[in-house]
């Protein structure tokens, strides 16, 4: 058993339009890098090798909270010293908190002889996500741990995650540098959904999953439509409608807000189209005078993993 591991934990796109809090996919990049060392003394120390000013008190740090949940299930006295280098900007909408939480528990599991299943790791990592957003949701955690495309079928009475193979699509993401935190973005959501809208929404969720599984990417494009969450959050993201218009004109299948935003994702049939779509997305924010970052890559088949000991 190693006593130190280096872990990469990927960014993720949650919701995928219609699948609020249930669907998600893993990106090949960006990713967080974590070094974990096992210590004989019980307890946790967290250090951040970046300048985002994130809390390092384990109770208030997403990786710390996830590790505390894991340690509660470990009978022997053991602790971890963790160093985190954020490759994913906090508040970007591509699962920054989920990546640190997932990377921490995957690394700790390797240091404990891989005694926990991926489903158990996802359950621990959700404790970290709750610290970040105040809500228990696993739609970033699931792809951050399982990779590919994931469906969180239930949180209660037990976490139930369906891991689907990664479709051979490319993702273009624009991250406009606007502050939106998940907690605030959840507060603008409607408390109730009219039945007619709910019917259209779950028809799209079923269509999207069917499109992925049968490689019917025209269906994927038609189903990337959100009648419930995007209308409430759209006012938080200037340029969203224009970004979608230009991305579709550049050949994207479809897309929407990535997680709770402000990032916007678009799915594409190939890399060339994804790069053209990313440029189209970026052009909107350049014209608005808003700084932005672009990420282009395939859907990653793997989630958080040990890359060196
Ligand atoms: N499903 C969550 C939300 C994801 O949209 O609030 C947060 O990244």
Per-residue confidence of the chain (309 residues) as pLDDT tens digits? 889 999 999 999 999 999 999 999 999 999 999 999 999 899 999 999 988 999 999 999 999 999 999 999 999 999 999 999 999 999 899 999 999 999 999 999 999 999 999 999 999 999 998 888 777 789 999 999 999 999 999 999 999 999 999 999 999 999 999 988 888 899 999 999 999 999 999 999 999 999 999 999 999 999 999 999 999 999 999 999 999 999 999 999 999 999 999 999 999 999 999 999 999 999 999 999 999 999 999 999 999 999 999
Contact residues of ligand 1, CB 6 A cut-off:
14-15, 20-21, 137, 139-140, 182, 185-186, 259-260
Together in a domain, 106 and 49:
yes
Ligand 1 atom closest to the Cα of residue 21 is 1
Which pLDDT belongs to residue 137?
A: 85
Which pLDDT belongs to residue 180?
A: 86
Q: Are 167 and 97 in contact (CB under 8 A)?
A: no
Quick: pLDDT tens for 94-143.
999 999 999 999 999 999 999 999 999 999 999 998 888 777 789 999 99
Together in a domain, 257 and 237:
yes
- Any idea what the CATH number is for the domain that residue 212 is in? 3.30.70.890
Give residue 263 CA to ligand 1 midpoint distance, Å: 12
Who's near 105: CB < 8 A, 6+ residues apart?
A: 66, 67, 70, 116, 121, 124, 125, 145
The helix (run of H) or strand (run of E) holding residue 26 is: strand 23-39
Which pLDDT belongs to residue 3?
A: 94
Ligand 1 atom closest to the Cα of residue 15 is 1
Together in a domain, 219 and 139:
no
Which pLDDT belongs to residue 286?
A: 98
Together in a domain, 204 and 103:
no
Together in a domain, 28 and 160:
yes
Give alpha helix (H) positions in 112-181: 118-133, 141-146
Q: Strand 79-85 to strand 43-48: parallel, antiparallel, or no bridges (unpaired)?
A: parallel
Nearest CA to ligand 1 atom 4: 259
Give residue 257 CA to ligand 1 midpoint distance, Å: 10
In terms of residue numbers, what domain contains 247?
A: 170-297
Does this model's pTM top 0.85? My answer is yes
Together in a domain, 103 and 188:
no
The gap between the terminal CA atoms of the chain, to the nearest Å, is 10
3-state secondary structure of 114: coil
Q: CA 259, 307, 89 angle in degrees (round to 5)?
A: 30
> How many residues are listed for the chain in this entry?
309
Catalytic residue positions, numbered: 129, 182
Ligand 1 atom closest to the Cα of residue 229 is 5
- Probe residue for ligand 1, chosen from 185, 187, 230, 263 as the CB with the greatest number of ligand atoms within 8 Å: 185
Query: 180 — phi, psi (to 5°)?
Result: -135, 120
Domain count, the chain: 2
Give residue 180 CA to ligand 1 midpoint distance, Å: 11
Together in a domain, 51 and 123:
yes
Together in a domain, 198 and 141:
no
Together in a domain, 55 and 159:
yes
Which pLDDT belongs to residue 1?
A: 86
Together in a domain, 221 and 240:
yes
What CA–CA distance (Å, rounded) separates 5 from 94? 24
Secondary-structure percent of the chain, ordered helix, strand, coil, rounded to 5: 40, 25, 35
Together in a domain, 15 and 153:
yes
Together in a domain, 110 and 225:
no
Give residue 20 CA to ligand 1 midpoint distance, Å: 7
């Amino acid at each position: 058993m190693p006593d130190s591991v280096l872990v990469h934990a990927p960014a993720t796109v949650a919701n995928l339009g219609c699948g609020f809090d249930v669907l998600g996919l893993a990106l090949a990049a960006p990713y967080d890098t974590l070094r974990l060392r096992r210590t004989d003394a019980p307890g946790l120390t967290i250090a951040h090798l970046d300048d985002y000013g994130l809390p390092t008190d384990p109770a208030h740090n997403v990786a710390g909270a996830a590790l505390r949940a894991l340690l509660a299930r470990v009978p022997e006295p053991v602790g971890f010293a963790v160093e985190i280098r954020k490759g994913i900007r906090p508040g970007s909408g591509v699962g920054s908190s989920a990546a640190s939480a997932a990377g921490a528990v995957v690394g700790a599991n390797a240091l404990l002889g891989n005694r926990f299943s991926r489903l158990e790791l996802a359950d621990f990592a959700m404790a970290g996500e709750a610290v970040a957003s105040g809500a228990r949701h696993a739609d970033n955690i699931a792809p951050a741990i399982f990779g590919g495309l994931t469906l969180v079928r239930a949180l209660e009475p037990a976490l139930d995650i369906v891991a689907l193979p990664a479709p051979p699509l490319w993702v273009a993401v624009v991250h406009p540098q606007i502050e939106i935190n998940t907690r605030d973005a959840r507060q603008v959501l409607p408390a109730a959904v009219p039945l007619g809208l709910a019917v259209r929404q779950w028809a799209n969720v079923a269509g999207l999953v069917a499109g992925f599984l049968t490689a019917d990417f025209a269906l994927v494009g038609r189903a990337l439509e959100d009648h419930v969450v995007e209308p409430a959050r759209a006012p938080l993201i200037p340029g969203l409608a224009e970004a979608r218009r230009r991305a579709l004109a550049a050949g994207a299948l479809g897309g929407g807000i990535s997680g709770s935003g402000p990032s916007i994702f678009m799915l594409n049939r190939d890399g060339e189209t994804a790069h053209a779509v990313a440029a189209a997305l970026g052009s909107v924010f350049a014209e608005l005078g808003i700084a932005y970052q672009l990420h282009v890559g395939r859907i990653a088949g793997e989630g958080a993993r040990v890359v060196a000991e």
